[in-house]
Structure 1
Amino acid sequence: MIVGSALGRDVVIQHPELVNLYGCDVGDETRIGTFVEIQKGAVVGERCKISSHCFICEGVTIEDGVFLGHGVMFTNDLYPRAVGVDGELKGKDDWTLTRTLVCRNASIGSNSTILAGVTIGEYALVGAGAVVTRSVPPGAVVAGVPARIVGQVTDMPVARKRRGALS
């Protein structure tokens, strides 16, 4: 179901009847797989690839050229609870939205979980199944639970420039 969302030019949604997009913004030429949910207030940039079964919640901003593998999950509440101390169900005003940023050209592997409040830097690479609990520097490769830096991306423009490939 696509309700109240702003879709850019040439956005491809493989099976529109099998996605939930409501109140979000999706940039030009982005591709969205099946069983994806993008909530109100979430922003997805241009030329992104959002693989099947991803969940992008309110407060998440994804810049241009980002890849999300299958089943990537974002959170937006640092202290989630169903009920308050009084036992009453919490409502929409009983929590604090915590924003997350995925910078341009980052890649997040399948089945990763990105906790609220982190920034994933430009060209960073998150390994499949990682749980990202802290911000990831630009160009870092992280993996594990919790995710830790295990390497450096070698195909980002800054790395190529250091090797003399860019002028």
Structure 2
Amino acid sequence: MPLNNVVLGDDVSITHPDLVNLYGCQIGSGSKIGPFVEIQKNSSVGKNCKISSHSFVCEGVTIEDNVMVAHGVVFTNDLFPRATNEDGSMQDEADWEVVPTRVCRGASIGSNATILAGVTVGARAIVGAGAVVTQDVPENAIVAGVPARVLRFLDKGAEGQDPKVAFLNTKSAELR
């Protein structure tokens, strides 16, 4: 497992440690990291999170406690990515600025979603599979699509409630 300057909390589980790339990051107690995950420097994963296989957590991303990141999720940290500078020279770290991104506690991000730089995903929000999140997601929102749009909100009393139950309660209330 390529580990360089990584702070791991108690009981962190790394599936296939030889198949992850972690450097300069912090991972909170009880979190689970799947295979083929990269977590870059100056990023953090909170307690009791799950980062599923093939996900990319780049520099500047903060993932708070109890967050689910499904398979193949990609975070970005550069608003204007370019390979070269105006003079044709290759860009390096000095040529761009990291734009921080935050995923608040209890949020869930579906498989193959892309979270663009500078976005905040609110507490207990759900991002649908394949969504491209280009702007902040309010807490308790369910978003999906390209670009991601709010579909509905979880029940106001969803704090600590299983998101499936909260979603179903919201859906059944709409049908009444």
SS for the counterpart of 2:152 is: strand
Q: Distance in 1 between matches of 2:62 and 2:158?
A: 21
* SS of residue matched to 2:94: coil
Distance (whole Å) between structure 2 residues aligned to residue 143 and residue 91 of structure 1:
33
The equivalent residue for 1:5 is 6
Indicate conservation of the 8 Å contact 1:13/1:34, yes or no: yes
User: What amino acid is aligned across from residue 51 of structure 1 in structure 2?
Assistant: S
Separation in structure 1 between the aligned mates of residue 49 and residue 152 of structure 2, nearest angstrom: 24
Is 1:135 the counterpart of 2:136? The answer is yes
User: Aligned with 1:93: secondary structure?
Assistant: helix
Match of 1:95 in 2: 96
- Long gaps (5+) in structure 2: 170-176
CA distance in 2, matches of 1:27, 1:91: 30
- The structure with the largest helix share of the pair is 2
- Report the aligned-residue RMSD: 1.6
Are 2:28 and 1:33 aligned? no
Question: Are the counterparts in 2 of residues 6 and 25 from structure 1 also a CA contact under 8 Å?
Answer: yes
User: Equivalent residues in 2 for 1:72-87 (5 A)?
Assistant: 72-87=73-88
Q: How many residues align?
A: 161
Bigger drift between 132-141 and 150-159 goes to 150-159
Instruction: Determine the C-alpha separation between the residues in 1 that align with 2:55 and 2:151.
Output: 24
Q: In structure 2, what residue type is equivalent to 1:157?
A: E
Counterpart residue number, 2:158: 156
**Conserved 8 A contact 1:2-1:16:** no
Alignment of 1:22 with 2:23, yes or no, is: yes
Partner of 2:44: 43
What is the percent sequence identity of the aligned residues? 58
**Code of the aligned partner of 1:88:** S
Q: Per-residue displacement from partner, 1:1-41 (whole Å, max 9, x unpaired)?
A: 12210000000001100000001000000000000000001
Tell me the amino acid that sits aligned with residue 31 of structure 1: K
Q: Does 1:60 align with 2:61?
A: yes
In the TM superposition, what is the alpha-carbon distance from 1:151 to its structure 2 partner? 1.1
SS in 1 for 2:18: helix
Runs of 4+ in 1 over 6 A off after TM superposition: none
Hey, what's the Cα distance between the residues in 1 that align with 2:86 and 2:158?
48
Q: TM-score, normalised by structure 2?
A: 0.88
